[in-house]
Amino acid sequence: MTQSILFKNRPIGKPKLSDFEFIKEDNDFNIKQDELLLETTYVSVDPYLRGRMNDAKSYIPPFELGKPISSGIIAKVMASKDEKFKVGDFVSGRLDWKTRQISKGDGLLKVDEEKAKLSAYLGVLGLTGLTAYLGLNEIGKPKQGETLVVSGAAGAVGSVVGQIGKILGLTVIGIAGTDEKIKMLTSEFGFDHAINYKTTKDMKAAIKTAAPNGVDVYFDNVGGPISDAVLFNINQFARLVICGAISVYNSTEIPHSVSVQPFLIKNSALMQGFIVSNYTEKFPEAINQLARWLQEGKLTYTETIVEGFENIPQAFLDLLEGKKKGKMLVEI
Ligand code: NAP
């Protein structure tokens, strides 16, 4: 039996388990020329999936009701009529939330279990690492000696951004939501300072204390009041990388923030939205560099791995609440 998870309801506000539907089917799986039969090994749950649940224009189409949800998946090739892949290979790509499925090979990448753990190809050596590396370098343009602030710092992207900042010789300040995560940022990931936004009353003052010379690069994963507080501390010619806005993904009203224009004008600062898929031509170079740093022990990563296909929706809901460290994955 093949299990699938379908998108049942468009959530308003926080998604619920009842927005997902499990089905079981008895499939024969006769593959045609150029097709593969895949068995799912790891499923990535990511904040951007929340955006795809809204029926709204974005950089990626919304999920269709009654159809399977899809995300980054590592799968094992069980049968192949595509000469690029053989039985036993592992591949990564955007696939459906199904235990088994037929796929054309397009858009799938072979991943090498010898070089890194399979799960890393959905994290530091996948879109997460690419987002961190390309967002920071292409828009943040970090220079040695500058100060970098990262929000969502204990998350999959943020933890890699901060470590790259340290490799490049910056002072790095991370913002996260539990004392355990704060400790992890300085002791495991080498951040210079970390601020708990849930227990700090005056974020503007806390950032000023941690960054007495001001903020040159802000890597924004969360938006909302945290980002407002950073704005008060930016330097002349600061670069603000707008990568994510997880604090407002479940908002049912248009969120209010401070007016950014005066801060940008008086500091001649740059604020730019970032979408990783706009930089595909730079993916090979970025992955090579990330893999090199990983091999050299300059880069490390943390994962939260939940077990069982039936737990994918709950893992996604927990992710949106920050109930995990580093990259969140489900192992099937
Ligand atoms: P993640 O692993 O879920 O990390 C997000 C972090 O944000 C969590 O560690 C969470 O922990 C924190 N957070 C959650 N709710 C928050 C709130 N209301 N206020 C402040 N912090 C909150 O996600 P990720 O994969 O690293 O992605 C990070 C961001 O980048 C997301 O917004 C995602 O949509 C975006 N992204 C963008 C691209 C792109 O191409 N633009 C690509 C990938 C990801 P704590 O609250 O406990 O600190």
- CA 105 to ligand 1 centroid distance, Å: 30
Residues with CB under 6 A from ligand 1: 46-48, 127-128, 131, 152, 154-158, 176-178, 181, 221-222, 226, 243-247, 274-276, 319, 322
Residue type at 8 in one-letter notation: K
pLDDT band at 148 (very low <50, low <70, confident <90, very high): very high
Atom of ligand 1 nearest to the CA of 198: 46
Strands (E), 255-302: 270-273
- CA 227 to ligand 1 centroid distance, Å: 13
Nearest protein CA to atom 32 of ligand 1, as residue: 244
Q: What is the pLDDT of residues 154-178, one digit of tens each?
A: 999 999 999 999 999 999 999 999 9
Per-residue pLDDT, averaged over 307-329, amounts to 96
pLDDT band at 106 (very low <50, low <70, confident <90, very high): confident
Q: The domain at 2-122+301-331 falls in which architecture?
A: Alpha-Beta Complex (3.90)
Q: Distance (Å, rounded) from C-alpha 73 to C-alpha 332?
A: 11
Q: CB–CB of 239/217 below 8 Å?
A: yes
Q: What is the pLDDT of residues 188-204, one digit of tens each?
A: 999 999 999 999 999 99
What is the pLDDT, as a whole number, of residue 257?
87
Nearest protein CA to atom 28 of ligand 1, as residue: 221
CATH class of 127-277: alpha beta
Per-residue pLDDT, averaged over 236-245, amounts to 98
Q: What is the pLDDT of residues 21-64, one digit of tens each?
A: 999 999 888 999 999 999 999 999 999 999 999 998 898 999 99
Q: Where are the domains of the chain?
A: 2-122+301-331, 127-277
**pTM (two decimals):** 0.95
pLDDT band at 12 (very low <50, low <70, confident <90, very high): very high
Atom of ligand 1 nearest to the CA of 159: 26
Q: CB–CB of 172/148 below 8 Å?
A: yes
Nearest protein CA to atom 16 of ligand 1, as residue: 247
